């Protein structure tokens, strides 16, 4: 019987004070030590839904059952290899325990033999994904407390590989979950792409994210700038919508905050002067060339929020670098080590977060934080928005670059690889 009762949203129950693995888990992990994750391509992931059938769902289940534990083994090993003092941090220990528990559950899960058993497996897998929703904020809190015992490079390498691994695990799990429910809905065989939306609309996504970030900004500052969308408005492209949503939310949060703060700095908080809009421009070379010779979709998010100072430019993609919570009239970042001086532990989250508030997971299990007073969300404060967004953009071979016109504003250029026909992309 699957041990579903051990899965819960409250990962604290997985935490034992010593952070040691049970003998059963140690034995299981040893078993998996030499089983490296098999390279996963997008085409492999999509193949289970093309066409979607009871047989393909069975293959998808066994693929998830074999691949996810392999990837969790890597994560567990990486967490166990952190310097001792970091490993004793309660947040880090909690994350490690949650991974061991999930690994044990998956590694001992019986083979799925029928559609009914698969429905049960998919339900439990969904719980498992949810139980890990807070992993990154939890780790962020851990590194906030003890990251100084590691070099900034080591922290950033660790977080990069943790987040990449997590994206892959979620893609495998969520693909299986999406296909399982899709098969349940349609009794006849069909093509279903699961987590990839073949006609993802950037304009719709920008509108939805602007609305959400606007509410967050309103709750924080009482005002928010408008968003103007231009460019190739009708274009659609194949992508993983939750990835695009995550990136756009983070970019808009940064643009909104910069716009309001720099407007207030220039004209005062009570000024009735209109705030400059944030401009999101969509560019799809397919639309201009009229052929599918280019497989990238670009979005530029432009604001007149004063830009990033030269001094801060080299730090903005570092985990935990933030200027949030500092007085509007304060000068740019003070001297000191790039990690220690700008560490998030010293700043308050904008939006009602407490000092060093690690934030909570948003709908997609990533960091957006949750304002304690506003209840809507935290606009900034962890310093994870840009590095994580760039990681997401690069995941399928895209890019994210920030250009600052110091004193005027910022352009962020996001290029995302269209996933249609990009079957060989490795995940």
Q: Which residues bind ligand ADP (CB under 6 A)?
A: 250, 254-255, 258, 303, 305, 307-308, 312, 316, 321-324, 380-386, 410
SS3 string, 194-246, reads CCCEEEECHHHHHHHHHHHHHHHHHHHHCCCCCEEEEECCCCCEEECHHHHHH
Shortest CB 380 distance to ligand ADP, Å: 3
The answer to whether the beta carbons of residues 273 and 267 sit under 8 Å apart is: yes
Question: Which of ligand ADP, Mg ion, none has residue 99 at its interface (CB below 5 to 8 Å by kind)?
Answer: none
Question: Which of ligand ADP, Mg ion, none has residue 71 at its interface (CB below 5 to 8 Å by kind)?
Answer: none
Shortest CB 363 distance to Mg ion, Å: 17
Task: Find the angle CA(279)-CA(281)-CA(283) to the nearest 5 degrees.
Answer: 175
Give how far Cα 267 sits from Cα of 128, 160, 325, 365, 406, Å. Answer: 49, 40, 20, 37, 18
Classify burial at 393, counting beta carbons within 10 Å of its beta carbon; exposed 0-12, middle 13-18, buried 19 or more: buried
Phi, psi dihedrals of residue 216, rounded to the nearest 5°: -65, -40
Q: Which is nearer to ligand ADP, 194 or 307 (CB)?
A: 307
Question: Which of Mg ion, ligand ADP, none has residue 322 at its interface (CB below 5 to 8 Å by kind)?
Answer: ligand ADP
Question: Which of ligand ADP, Mg ion, none has residue 362 at its interface (CB below 5 to 8 Å by kind)?
Answer: none
Shortest CB 280 distance to ligand ADP, Å: 12
Distance CA 90, CA 305 (A): 38
* Residue of minimal Cβ distance to ligand ADP: 385
Q: Taking the CB of residue 270, how many other CB atoms lie within 10 A of it?
A: 6
Answer for which of 369, 385, 387, 409 binds Mg ion (CB under 5 A) is 385
Q: Which is nearer to ligand ADP, 145 or 250 (CB)?
A: 250
Rg, C-alpha atoms of the chain:
22
Q: Which is nearer to ligand ADP, 176 or 370 (CB)?
A: 370
Question: Which of Mg ion, ligand ADP, none has residue 305 at its interface (CB below 5 to 8 Å by kind)?
Answer: ligand ADP
Residue 222: partners with Cβ closer than 8 Å, 6 or more residues away: none
Task: Find the angle CA(355)-CA(217)-CA(195) to the nearest 5 degrees.
Answer: 95
Token readout for 275 is 């705030």
Distance CA 56, CA 47 (A): 8
* Residue of minimal Cβ distance to Mg ion: 385
Q: Which is nearer to ligand ADP, 175 or 259 (CB)?
A: 259
Q: Which is nearer to Mg ion, 253 or 300 (CB)?
A: 253
Q: Which is nearer to Mg ion, 37 or 385 (CB)?
A: 385
Contact between 380 and Mg ion by CB under 5 A: the answer reads yes
Of 63-71, 140-148, 207-215, 372-380, which part binds Mg ion (CB under 5 A)?
372-380
Distance CA 377, CA 43 (A): 36
Shortest CB 10 distance to ligand ADP, Å: 26
Shortest CB 332 distance to ligand ADP, Å: 9
Collapsed DSSP state (helix, strand, coil) of residue 190? strand
Q: Which is nearer to ligand ADP, 267 or 408 (CB)?
A: 408
Q: Could you say which residues in the range 227-266 bind Mg ion, by CB under 5 A?
A: 253-254
Q: Which is nearer to ligand ADP, 152 or 383 (CB)?
A: 383
Residue 61: partners with Cβ closer than 8 Å, 6 or more residues away: 112, 118, 121, 122, 176, 180
Shortest CB 22 distance to ligand ADP, Å: 37
Question: Which residues of the shown chain bind Mg ion in the complex (CB under 5 A)?
Answer: 253-254, 380, 385
């Amino acid at each position: 019987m699957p041990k579903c009762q051990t899965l819960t949203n409250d990962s604290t129950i997985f935490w034992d004070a010593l952070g040691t693995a049970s003998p059963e888990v140690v034995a299981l992990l040893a078993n998996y030590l030499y089983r490296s994750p098999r390279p996963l391509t997008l085409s492999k992931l999509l193949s289970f839904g093309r066409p979607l059938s009871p047989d393909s769902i069975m293959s998808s289940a066994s693929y998830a059952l074999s691949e996810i534990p392999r990837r969790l083994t890597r994560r567990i090993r990486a967490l166990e290899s952190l310097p001792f003092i970091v490993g004793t941090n309660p947040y880090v220990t909690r994350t490690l325990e949650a991974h061991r528990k999930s690994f044990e559950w998956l590694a001992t899960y019986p083979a799925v033999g029928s559609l009914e058993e698969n429905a049960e497996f998919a339900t439990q897998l969904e719980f498992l994904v949810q139980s890990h929703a807070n992993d990154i904020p939890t780790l962020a809190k851990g590194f906030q407390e003890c990251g100084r015992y590691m070099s900034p490079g080591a922290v950033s390498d660790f977080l990069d590989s943790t987040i990449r691994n997590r994206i892959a695990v979620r893609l495998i799990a969520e693909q299986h979950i999406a296909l399982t429910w899709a098969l349940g809905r349609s009794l006849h065989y069909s093509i279903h792409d699961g987590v990839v939306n073949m006609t993802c609309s950037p304009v719709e996504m920008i509108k939805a994210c602007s609305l959400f970030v606007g509410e967050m900004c309103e709750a924080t500052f009482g005002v928010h700038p408008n968003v103007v969308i231009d460019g190739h408005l009708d274009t659609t492209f194949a992508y993983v919508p939750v990835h695009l949503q995550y990136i756009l939310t983070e970019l808009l949060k940064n643009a909104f905050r910069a716009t309001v703060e720099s407007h207030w700095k220039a004209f005062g908080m009570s000024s009735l002067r209109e705030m400059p809009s944030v401009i999101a421009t969509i560019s799809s070379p397919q639309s201009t060339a009229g052929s599918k010779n280019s497989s990238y979709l670009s979005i530029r998010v432009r604001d007149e929020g004063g830009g990033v100072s030269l001094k801060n430019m080299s730090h903005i993609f570092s985990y935990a670098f933030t200027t949030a919570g500092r007085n509007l009239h304060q000068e740019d970042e003070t001297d000191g080590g790039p990690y220690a001086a700008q560490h998030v532990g010293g700043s308050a989250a904008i939006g009602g977060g407490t000092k060093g508030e690690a934030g909570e997971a948003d709908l997609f299990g990533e960091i957006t934080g949750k304002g304690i007073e506003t209840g809507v969300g935290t606009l900034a404060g962890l310093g994870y928005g840009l590095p994580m967004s760039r990681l997401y953009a690069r995941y399928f071979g895209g890019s994210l670059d920030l250009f600052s016109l110091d004193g005027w504003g910022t352009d962020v250029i996001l290029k995302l690889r269209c996933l249609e026909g990009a079957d060989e992309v490795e995940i």
